[in-house]
Amino acid sequence: MKKIQFFLILIIILICCLAGYYFFFLDKVSPDIKILNGRYIGGHNNALSVVVTDDRSLIKKVDILIKQNKKEKNIVFKDNNSTRVEYKINLKEMGFSDGKLSICISAWDRSLNNFGTGNIKQIEKEFILDTTPPSIYVKTHRHNLKIGGSGVAGYFVSEPVKKTGIEVGGYLFPAYKYNKEDYICFFSIPYWIQDRKITPWIVAIDYAGNTQKIPLNAYIKKTKFPSTSINISDKFLITKMAQFQNEYPSLKPLEIFLKVNRELRKKNREKLKEIGLETEPKILFKGAFLRLPNSARKEAFGVRRSYFYKGEKIDEQTHLGIDLASIARAEVPAANSGKVVFAGWFGIYGNTVIIDHGFGVQSLYGHLSYLGVKKGQFVNKGDIIGRTGASGLAGGDHLHFGILISGIPVDPVEWWDKNWIKNNIIYNLKTLSRE
Ligand SMILES: [Zn+2]
């Protein structure tokens, strides 16, 4: 009798232990399967990327089944001894062709759950295999640019693309849809380019990541940018650096000047690239751009400036707009029609207005004493948007006028010239149909 009782207690303890093990220690969680590709598989390695992980147990087996029409291939990976496995499978090498396919992945772990078979996870997803880069056909022919100048190109791309534009000197000028089939791209041979033999490349990357790159036939003229010297006086430092004292509270005026002229200038130029993307996908400008009426040019585009303080050279920067001086507090007209994308304080440029004219073309009005427009407002060519001044890094009352293409400053002179616009912009736009 005592023996039976002893065994009963032993069995109960054993059952409790097993139940305890089952509830508290046994891994009942399935492995996690991740397919790293988006909807498209392709790009430079054409690989399906799969990662299987398990928090607690080792992964026992992964089964990958790929189906396309009547073709079916099954790959089984066994005897893994890891909690994380990664596979890259080249579907093209396996004989699959571009188009839809479905992928079913099953994974088992080494847990004793399910009577020893382990936890299982299964996923099934549809993908598009795309291993063909898009084709590009250039439709415009006239691409005569000077270094620091502007141009436009139109081209056809054979399939929908994630990213396209013209790359020059490491900068990609984005292109925009112009009509049902064509892209349009305003671009520049940026002012920092030294060699007129540089090639602008049209780049198109499809949703699978396949990249096409073709050279754009362009005739590029060299530009000689002049140099000037600027003497920084104590009066300039004391009166002008007060505007930036809040940003650099512990620095002396000369130190503030160097920070502003180097770091803030750089920061402002980066910000221009961001604003350059805030653009309407249509042409808002019409004809030549307006120049500040009755004004004299005080500084040209691209001038290399050397800054001197007490006879010593302290800095060097490039002037990337045109300085125009009229009477003090002169009315500033919008150079062309467009949408105000910035109106406010803009570092070295002081009180500034930026107008978007579509497809990345923008005009900038710096050092204003008064802002007459607000962000988001549409303006017509000639509308008064503010008054000239000397805010920001300006010695005296003048307008710093800039033209930007996707945030890169270009020489505004071309945009004031109605013949240049007609021959280089309008002429090319006419070769693209508008549907
Ligand atoms: Zn200027």
The domains of the chain are located at 28-130, 136-221, 227-408
* Ligand 1 centroid – CA 326 distance (Å): 14
Could you confirm whether domain 136-221 is CATH 2.60.40.10? Answer: yes
- Note the pLDDT of residue 12: 82
3-state secondary structure of 25: helix
What's the CATH fold of domain 227-408?
Answer: Glucose Permease (Domain IIA) (2.70.70)
What is residue 22's predicted lDDT score, i.e. its pLDDT? 64
Q: Measure the CA–CA gap between 169 and 80, rounded to whole angstroms.
A: 48
Q: What 8-state DSSP symbol labels residue 398?
A: B
Residue 31 contacts residue 108 (beta carbons within 8 Å): yes
Query: For the domain bounded by 28-130, which CATH number is listed?
Result: 2.60.40.1930
Q: Which residues contact 428 (CB under 8 A, 6 or more apart)?
A: 140, 141, 142, 152, 153, 154
Predicted pLDDT at 23: 64
Cα(336) to centroid of ligand 1, in Å? 19
Q: Ligand 1 centre and the CA of 275: distance in Å? A: 19
Q: Give distance in angstroms: CA of 133 to centre of ligand 1.
A: 44
Distance from the CA of 243 to the center of ligand 1, in angstroms? 17
Using the mean position of ligand 1's atoms as its centre, give its distance from the Cα of residue 226 in Å: 14
Instruction: Measure 124 CA to ligand 1 centroid, in angstroms.
Output: 60
Q: Do domains 136-221 and 227-408 have the same CATH topology?
A: no
The pLDDT, as a whole number, for residue 29 is 87
State which residues have CB under 5 angstroms from ligand 1, the bound ion: 321, 323, 400
pLDDT at 110: 87
Contact between 358 and 285 (Cβ < 8 Å): yes
pLDDT at position 299 = 96
Residue 380 Cα to ligand 1 midpoint, Å, equals 24
Give the whole-angstrom CA distance, residue 200 versus residue 140.
Answer: 14
Question: Rounded to the nearest whole angstrom, what is the distance from the C-alpha of residue 288 to the centroid of ligand 1?
Answer: 21
Report pLDDT for 434.
Answer: 60
Give distance in angstroms: CA of 145 to centre of ligand 1: 23
Q: What is the pTM of this model?
A: 0.86
Q: In angstroms, what is the span from residue 424 Cα to ligand 1's centroid?
A: 26
**Segments of the chain with pLDDT less than 70:** 1, 16-25, 44-45, 434-435
